[in-house]
Chains A and B, each alone.
Chain A
Amino acid sequence: MPDHTSNGMQCNEFDVLLTDALDGVLSGSQLDRFQAHAQTCKACGPLLAEAEAGRSWLKGLTEVEPPANLVANILASTTGVDTQRLRATAPQHQPHISWLEHVRALLLEPVWATVRQPRFAMSFGMAFFALSVGLTVAGVKPSDIKAIDLRPAAVRRAYYNAHARVVRYVDNARAVYELQAALRGIKRNLAPAEPAPKPKDHKNDTTQQPEQKQERNYSQTGEQLILARARLGPSVFDSSNPDLPVVSVTTYRRFL
């Protein structure tokens, strides 16, 4: 802007007062000097007109409406929370929930939902029926279960009784086995000695290849007579009796 004086006002001063003039705050002598300068100055006169026109153009612009989702997007990008959804749920009163209702909601409801299914109910019914039949066949009665004494002294007594029964059963079984062994020894002594079986002639028997092969692997074969003495106890045999049972044993030795 050229800086020259016209009607007692410089163009720089005019430029500063221009906004005030357009705002309508100039008055008195200052307004007179401003208007006089605008009429005489070739640069400032058109500037006043253009500034006034531009101001009116801009005042004609109205505010534009922001997009409807702008606030929601801003809140989501800043707090990360969909506040519209929160607002929709906020007025609703949250009833007090006790811990028992929490447990029921967390544990019982899922179980009950499973039990209510027909498939599970049928399976449970079949299992109960099978258990009932099994207990009936085994002779277990509900009255027996009811009569069980679960006091510690009673349990301890039942344990000792069961242990004594088991010990007695084992002792009796041992006596029976010893008696059976003594009888077998007596029978063996009274029976005549059987001739030893003749060895088979495998010369022309081509079907016994595995046995021949086994003999080749085990290089030496021998028969030994071993005198065995069975301890039969004093009630059955006297220790001075020299008649001992004879046992025939065949052994195979392998030479490496």
Chain B
Amino acid sequence: MEDVQVVAMLVRRCIAGDAAAWEEIVQTYNRRIYNICYRFAGSSDDAQDLTQEVFIKMYRTLPSYDHSKGAFVTWVTTITRNLLVDHFRKTKQDRMTDSMDTTASDHEDAQPLSEQIPDRSAPPDARVRSREVSETVHAALSKISPELREAVILRDLQDMDYREIAAVLKVPEGTVKSRINRGRAELARLLQRTYRQVM
């Protein structure tokens, strides 16, 4: 994805105070980081704030990057993931994502999380249907547990290989693969349940 030498030179220029080099880094990676944040946090506003936080942290810790230890994109993704974990802990979303089949509240009449996903009946227009399917999948993705969510986002949405994901998540590759499988399966169960109710 990236030429190591080019990125290393870019980072050195940036550390030396070259504003153009920093702007090039921002231009190159803002889309990727924004998408990771958007898929993980679920909202555009949160994703925008988190993306800015990621770049602020990158800007401050750029001299600590060592290209011999790993690719720059892995380093960037690790920073993003760590900030997402911090954000998740602060927003206390883990109570909502422990299980897809448990209710979000203690009330007996409360619906399961799978039933809280909005009903997306098939509209006549295929483009609108495609957009609404994407929104449904996005909403379902935000409902699965964060450990599984980050794994499937990095694999299926960011096309990172298992070794890179293992480096970012700091877990073995076997654990990464297991989380990806469980994440995909949980997402599928949730969506199948949703569409079964619609049909």
Q: Which residues in A have some Cβ–Cβ distance to B below 8 Å?
A: 15-16, 18-19, 47, 49-55, 57-67, 70-71, 73-75, 77-79, 81, 83, 86
Contacts and interface: CB of A to CB of B under 8 A. Distances in A.
A50 B55 contact: no
Contacts of B192: 50, 53
Interface in B119-140: 133-134, 137-138, 140
B177 A15 contact: yes
Interface of B: 19, 22-23, 26-27, 30-31, 34-35, 38-39, 44, 48, 51-52, 55-56, 59, 133-134, 137-138, 140-141, 152, 156-157, 162, 174, 177-178, 180-181, 183-189, 191-192
A83 B19 contact: yes
Nearest to B144: A54
A45 to B, nearest CB: 12
B20 to A, nearest CB: 8
Contacts, number: 114
B191 to A, nearest CB: 6
B188 A18 contact: no
A99 to B, nearest CB: 29
A3 to B, nearest CB: 13
B23 A19 contact: no
A70 B48 contact: yes
B181 A51 contact: yes
A145 B93 CA distance: 95
A59 B188 contact: no
5 contacts: A18-B181, A54-B187, A64-B44, A74-B30, A81-B19
B187 A70 contact: no
B177 A58 contact: no
A57 B140 CA distance: 10
